[in-house]
């Protein structure tokens, strides 16, 4: 029997966002924070990789501190660092919906495709100061 996995999550985008044109393909890499449900523990951080048209469509739209709903698959890889092998789990995104961005005053602004001038402001339940800088 074959196995199957699909990952979904509502995340906050970290500060590190990189876009590369590899000649025959495009790649967008960014980090996301996922809050833990218990207490005020620091969030878990993951790398997200977007390829091709998805990378192209998100370039310039995805910003640090945005909320994003991501659907994808987990990918495990490893690399050698000194004398140790480091294992990394990343999310290879298949769909990304950018929902909102935390503003410096603590409000959120929708970034889901609404026309300019029709932004909605609401009180944010989380501020950027509530979590650490993305360590990845």
Q: Is 95 helix (H, G, I), strand (E, B) or coil?
A: strand
Residues 6+ apart with CB under 8 A from 96: 48, 50, 54, 58, 62, 68, 69, 70, 71
Q: What is the pLDDT of residues 82-114, one digit of tens each?
A: 899 988 889 999 999 998 655 555 555 544 443
Tell me the domain boundaries of the chain.
Answer: 7-130
Question: Mean pLDDT across the stretch 117-126?
Answer: 33
> Which among 37, 32, 132 has a CA at the least distance from the CA of 92?
32
Q: Which helix (H) or strand (E) holds 52?
A: helix 52-58
pTM summary value: 0.69
Question: pLDDT tens, 9-47?
Answer: 999 999 989 999 999 999 999 999 998 877 788 899 999
Dihedral sign for Cα 71, 127, 30, 91, please. Answer: negative
Contacts of 7 (CB under 8 A, 6+ apart): 70, 71, 72, 73, 74, 91
Q: Any idea which architecture 7-130 has in CATH?
A: Beta Barrel (2.40)
């Amino acid at each position: 029997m074959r196995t199957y996995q699909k990952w979904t999550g509502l995340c906050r985008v970290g500060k590190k966002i990189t876009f590369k044109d590899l000649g025959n393909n495009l790649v967008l890499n960014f980090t996301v924070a996922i809050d833990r449900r218990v207490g005020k523990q620091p969030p878990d951080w993951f790398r997200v990789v977007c390829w091709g048209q998805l990378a192209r469509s998100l370039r310039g739209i995805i910003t640090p501190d945005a909320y994003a709903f991501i659907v994808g698959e987990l990918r495990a890889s490893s690399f050698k660092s000194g004398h140790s092998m480091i294992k990394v789990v990343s999310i290879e995104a298949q769909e990304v919906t950018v929902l909102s961005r935390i503003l410096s005053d603590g409000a959120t602004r929708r970034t889901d495709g609404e026309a300019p001038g029709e932004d909605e402001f609401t009180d944010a339940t989380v501020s950027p100061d509530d979590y650490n800088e993305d360590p990845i």
